[in-house]
Structure 1
């Protein structure tokens, strides 16, 4: 159902209804990330979908929060949205393992795509320490981050 949903050409209202129904069954990183990778409507209509995508950050359900995080990473790490995305994700605090791993993944991806805007978030005291350390690890392991930046990030550990 998650993959099929991503391929449907639906209007915002219909997508919103279907997404709410699908998220009720979202209970693992695999279903979550599959849904986010297939949910392509925000790529072509970013402004229209932005309120919907960020609204799930306010949920008490950790899988909704991960959905919002990964959907932002997938669709909104653009010149227009990167600063707002990073500020919103910085404000997320959770003890849920998969929320924190999603946050780390998003910050590491942001460093790869928008180094100047993102790298400062990995300084100590800005993010939860477990998120910060995992994001640095992901950057160091990434092929999309330069050797010089990897050295800088190692020094920030």
Structure 2
């Protein structure tokens, strides 16, 4: 199939009601067709059975869904670790919103097989100037490295992120809250001694307290660790 044929298929699968709903979650993203994620995953899984590299090489990006589709292809296609790292690095600068970033990361399940190699690949992105490259690193840490042997190093990287963009701060807060579910003792110690900015610190606690997997007593204790923010 050509890029144009795939674009036509996406246009045919567009759902206006879903587009209106999804657009509200992605303020500033104007090129949403409204194709649901399961449909995009089906298309990507079909494409990787044939020649998929042309789609990455031509980098179609008229629609938000085309960005999403390229990310899914990178996760599903059969390739060496070295090639996958290369195409990930090529793809990251094109990410323009949290939804593409987070859906992309959740699709890179091969990371579980190459955990050490991928961690070395991910770490430099914590120091990036790009909002969504930092968010990529945080989301990958959340998805694949919530383990005792990685947690302390992950937290050091979180502490050194000084980018105050909302989507960076929320990614780190979200990640800390998930770490708390899996590693409560280690993560609570981090919450007590971290170097996060006040907004991210407080958001992490808020998100933990919103979880049904945390008991009332624990939530009450964690709320006492919130910081007063300067007005």
> Is residue 106–residue 143 contact of structure 2 (8 Å, CA) maintained in 1?
yes
Q: TM-score normalized by structure 2?
A: 0.65
> Is residue 124–residue 156 contact of structure 1 (8 Å, CA) maintained in 2?
no
Query: Match for residue 51 of structure 1?
Result: 120
Query: Match for residue 50 of structure 2?
Result: none
Query: Match for residue 177 of structure 2?
Result: 108
Larger C-alpha radius of gyration, 1 or 2?
2
For the pair 1:140 / 2:201, whether they are aligned, the reply is no
Q: Secondary structure at the match of 2:94?
A: coil
**Inter-partner Cα distance in structure 2 for 1:31 and 1:119:** 30
Q: Within 5 Å, which residues of 2 pair with 1:1-157?
A: 1-123=70-192, 126-157=195-226
Deviations 1:91-130 (A, max 9, x none): 1111111000001001111111111111123237632100
**Inter-partner Cα distance in structure 2 for 1:68 and 1:144:** 25
* Unaligned segments of structure 2, at least 5 residues: 1-69, 227-231
Q: Secondary structure at the match of 1:3?
A: helix
> Is residue 158–residue 196 contact of structure 2 (8 Å, CA) maintained in 1?
no
> Is residue 121–residue 127 contact of structure 1 (8 Å, CA) maintained in 2?
no
> Is residue 111–residue 145 contact of structure 1 (8 Å, CA) maintained in 2?
no
Relative contact order (C-alpha < 8 Å, sep 6+): which is higher?
A: 1
Moved more, 65-74 or 5-14: 5-14
CA 1:9–1:146 in structure 2 vs 1: closer, same or farther (change >3 Å)? farther
Q: TM-score normalized by structure 1?
A: 0.93
**Inter-partner Cα distance in structure 2 for 1:16 and 1:123:** 35
1:144: how far off? 2.5
